[in-house]
Amino acid sequence: MRNQFVNRKFIIGGMIVLVWIVLVLRLFFLQVVNPGYKLSASRNSRQSQIQYSARGLIFDRNGQIIVYNKPAYDLMVTPWKVRVFDTLELCSSVDITKEELINGLKRARSYSNALPSVLVRQISAERYASLQEKMYKFPGFVVKSRMIRAYNQPIAAHVIGHLGEVAREDMNRDSYYSLGDYLGRDGLEKQYEKELRGTKGIRYLLVDVHN
């Protein structure tokens, strides 16, 4: 009988050692071999922002500027990142109604729950300056800066052309574009699109838990 208990003790001890070995190997795989957790931790502290180059200027034959750029700001939302926030404060900050905010969030979710989409377009520089200080209160929302076209003289619109937001077929045809980008739709803006649009860059930001 005593030998039976001794054997059982060794069996139980061996099972405990085996479980510990499995746990240690699993932890080693997760923390050392598998890069997933490292990438996740990196994303928690590092954000990437697309930097758009200023669109090229257009001059007349006398060297006078007829088309130039001025800054504009779009409020973007990524639905799955959104948490509870003060809707009234956000609405007053960007000058929209609560209904417009709710409808905008519905449109964003119907497009993609994981990709950012435009919620409010062309926020003024004054409102952006005030909003920038509050962005940590609105998880899931970011402001994307871009340049919009301005004109010294209201002439030759049919020759100069205009910009329009990219459609899905534009993104499928050219991987340079992403949702919310603009491209030349007609006239000189379309003819010289590749020369005028410049080249995108990426800016990396280190952030804390408040973004």
- Which is nearest to 69 in space by CA: 163, 3, 141? 163
- 194 falls in which pLDDT band (50, 70, 90)? very high
Given a contact cutoff of 8 angstroms between Cβ atoms, the answer to whether 96 and 139 are in contact is no
Concatenate the DSSP letters of all residues of the chain into one string. Answer: -HHHHHHHHHHHHHHHHHHHHHHHHHHHIIIII--HHHHHHHHHHEEEEEEPPPPPPEE-TTS-EEEEEEEEEEEEE-GGG--S--HHHHHHHHT--HHHHHHHHHHHHHH-SSS-EEEEEEE-HHHHHHHHTTGGGSTTEEEEEEEEEEESSS--HHHH--EEEPPHHHHHH-TT--TT-EEE-SHHHHHTHHHHH---EEEEEE--TT-
Give the Cα separation of 178 and 167 in Å (integer): 9
Residue 160 structure tokens: 């100069």
Question: In the predicted model, is pLDDT for residue 1 greater than 60?
Answer: no
Question: In the predicted model, is pLDDT for residue 188 greater than 90?
Answer: yes
Which neighbouring-strand residues pair with 39?
Answer: none
Which neighbouring-strand residues pair with 159?
Answer: none
Q: Span 64-71, mean pLDDT?
A: 91
Confidence (pTM): 0.58
Question: In the predicted model, is pLDDT for residue 41 greater than 80?
Answer: no
Question: In the predicted model, is pLDDT for residue 127 greater than 80?
Answer: yes
| pLDDT, position 48 | 76
Q: Which tens digits make up the pLDDT trace of 71-125?
A: 889 999 999 999 999 999 999 999 999 999 999 999 999 988 888 888 998 898 8
Given a contact cutoff of 8 angstroms between Cβ atoms, the answer to whether 127 and 99 are in contact is no
Residue 205 structure tokens: 């930001």
Q: Span 54-62, mean pLDDT?
A: 91
Q: Which tens digits make up the pLDDT trace of 166-179?
A: 988 998 999 888 87
